[in-house]
Homo-oligomer: A and B are copies of this chain.
């Protein structure tokens, strides 16, 4: 379903997990495990789904069990971007019980959050299946987790909008107001941008769209337009620019937007409106003193 599976850079994964372990273990570590579990106790666990969904973030789970200490094995049974059924086993874990218990919450907090995003993205993507439109995300992401959340969007079959303020230009109404016109803003952006920096311009009206196209725009964001306007925009555009619909996108309306013929539909819902997918760790501890 993925063109090619994407990959999270390893250093991002490791630093995120080290920070999260520090957050959850503090200066004294898992007091309960130290109090109740012998250092020799052994845990065998399965990470399983309590509900159907799309998995994202197994590299983070692996890193949590690898970095918490020595001796925990982790065997994924599925790869990111694939569907798990309710009751399905996502991964097997075994190792010293204290370590398994210490990393459990960190692992789950990541994978449940990211799989929730992947799952909701897939629902949006499924809604528009068969149309020309792709679902994409926004910069409305959780601070510190953008790389992971955008990766989860890809796992769910969505596409990524720009990652940050520095990797593409997006001219909004404020910028246009300052520049004086759509044309002036677009020309200023062209003059500034390197040749690999994409420029997108947001328009509020069909007149602005026409001005943007005349100025040479190749990517246009149609801001908060209803479906009628979107259809007219598509007609005016006549294939010249890529068109992105944005604003007020909800799951029950997204197909009708897609059917207007736009190329992209962006929504913060897939990152900000998702619920964690309910995955849990079923643990059996033995070999105790």
Contact at B37–A12, with CB atoms within 8 Å? no
Contact at A23–B194, with CB atoms within 8 Å? no
Q: Out of B11, B26, B35, B283, name the residue touching A192 (CB < 8 Å).
A: B35
**A11-B22, A27-B12, A193-B31 are known contacts. Are A179 and B36 too (CB-CB below 8 A)?**
yes
Contact at B36–A143, with CB atoms within 8 Å? no
**A109-B140, A175-B37, A178-B97 are known contacts. Are A27 and B147 too (CB-CB below 8 A)?**
yes
Q: How far is the CA of A5 from the CA of B29 in the complex (A)?
A: 12
| Interface membership of A142, Cβ < 8 A | yes
Contact at A23–B272, with CB atoms within 8 Å? no
Binding site for B on A (CB under 8 A): 3-12, 16, 18-39, 41, 67-70, 97-98, 101-102, 105-106, 108-110, 113, 134, 136, 139-147, 150-151, 159-172, 174-175, 177-179, 185, 188-189, 191-198, 200, 219, 242, 244, 263-264, 272-273, 275-276, 283, 285, 288
What are 17 A-to-B residue pairs whose CB atoms are below 8 Å? A3-B191, A12-B25, A23-B27, A23-B146, A31-B165, A35-B191, A36-B175, A36-B188, A108-B140, A113-B142, A144-B144, A160-B194, A163-B166, A163-B167, A174-B283, A196-B219, A198-B198
